[in-house]
Amino acid sequence: MSVRRGQTKSYFASADDTKICVVMVGLPARGKSLIAGKAMRYLAWVGIPARVFNVGTYRRSNTPQPSATFFDPHNSEGEKMRKAAAEAAMSDMLQWFSSGKGVVAILDATNSTKSRRSWIYESCHAANVETLFVESICDEEDLIMNNILEVKTTSPDYKGQDPEAAALDFRNRIRNYEKVYETIDDNEKHYTYVKLINVGSTVIINQIKDYLSSRLVYYIQNLHIKPRSIWLSRHGESEYNLTGKIGGDSNISPRGEAYARALPGLLKKSGVPPNTKIVIWTSTLRRTIQTARHLAAETGYEKLEWKALDELDSGVCDGLTYEQIAEKYPEDFAARDEDKYNYRYRGGESYRDVVIRLEPIIMELERSENVIIVTHQAVLRCIYAYFLNTPQEQSPWMEVPLHTLIKLTPRAYGTDEQRFKADIPAVSTWRAKGTSAKHQDYPTEIKA
């Protein structure tokens, strides 16, 4: 029997060679860089070559830490340098497209005037690149303050500076932009655009023409910029883990039960802000439901079961050990080592298949605030890869140990990660690429 490999790089159906420049629009502290970073990660996760071109990064090569006066519209020298940075970003972006490397570029800047947007539109149009303007509008003071706090603590513009002085300077920078800011209006109706007003509470969409743009808009309209964290955990050690079997629907082991009891304390230890509402997500398989039950009982958090969070389907290999698979299906075992992301088990799934079925989960996760997900090794790898922008060829080989809680906190310039390990032993289910399939036997007693 032949081994199924060589699947296509993308599951976006596209009848043409559409190239899109996503143009961020909005005042500072409106979540533009956060949205840009998320969109790029999402596209890479589903196999679309994407890249962010941040105009601020180009500007920093000459003015690494400018004061607010640099952004004053009456500062002709500052205006000249800012325009040069935008032109350099645009030039690199168009070169990236023409080299055949890219499908979606994200131009991350304020792009806050009609003249700037017209220049971007005309430049892209001349290069046969579609434009999609994404304007983030926010007048909720709490959200703006949160974003100011985020920028002054994570932006390279304020690295090493006094936080209070940084916040004051950044507010002055915003005031300078407010002097010239022009929202997208009826005079720009020929543009394809989406407006997100107050974190997506209102969304205005105009002139969406192609499939890829519609997928991007659907993703973007699910985003919010409120501060939150996502916690990820595998189920507690299972009976199948102890014997090296994959798949199945086994119960958790005594040590897995100990982890289930320890999970509420581990979550508390990870740092949960007061009055934070967290929703618990599990798969429909027993080992995740059993692992989450004490957490739900002790906290009173809502708990949801998702079929899409079930473990990767190992088809005819379900219930076998890796050693048995290597003996029974040697070609399959070797093929999976060669291209683990695309290899599909006979009658089962590949990692690429799991990503496709997880897309609605990611959409719901982006709409949600604080969530703890108790799931399985392959599924957790795929979700983790989305947040940390892990390359597809690396994600199936990541080590994700049992009895460990991972806390992810999305930021404007990346995702913070913390790991909290419970003091409860468990088998290791990780196997490095090209290593032996032999399973090691482990004692099942709980160490004192």
Alpha-helical runs (H) found in 128-271: 141-154, 163-178, 211-220, 239-243, 254-271
Query: How many CB atoms are closer than 10 A to CB 88?
Result: 17
- Residues making up the binding site: 234-241, 287
**Exposed, middle or buried by CB within 10 Å (0-12, 13-18, 19+), for 264?**
middle
Q: Are 18 and 50 in contact (CB under 8 A)?
A: no
How is residue 150 written in tokens?
Answer: 């985020």
State the Cα–Cα distance between residues 198 and 381, nearest whole angstrom. Answer: 32
**Neighbouring-strand partners of residue 50:** 104
Q: Cα 177 from chain centroid? A: 29
Q: In this structure, is the dihedral angle defined by the CA atoms of residues 367, 370, 376 and 377, taken in order, positive or negative?
A: positive
**Neighbouring-strand partners of residue 202:** 197
State the Cα–Cα distance between residues 236 and 262, nearest whole angstrom. Answer: 10
Residues 6+ apart with CB under 8 A from 395: 341, 351, 381, 382, 384, 385
- Residues making up the binding site for substrate: 234-241, 287
Q: Cα 370 from chain centroid? A: 15
Annotated catalytic, 235? yes
State the Cα–Cα distance between residues 118 and 125, nearest whole angstrom. Answer: 10
Annotated catalytic, 403? no
From 150, 257, 311, 349, the catalytic residue: 311
From 130, 150, 224, 235, the catalytic residue: 235
How is residue 66 written in tokens?
Answer: 């400018």
State the Cα–Cα distance between residues 227 and 370, nearest whole angstrom. Answer: 9
State the Cα–Cα distance between residues 111 and 402, nearest whole angstrom. Answer: 46
Tell me how far CA of residue 331 lies from CA of 317, 320, 327, 340, 439, in angstroms.
Answer: 13, 16, 10, 13, 19
Catalytic positions, written as ranges: 235, 311
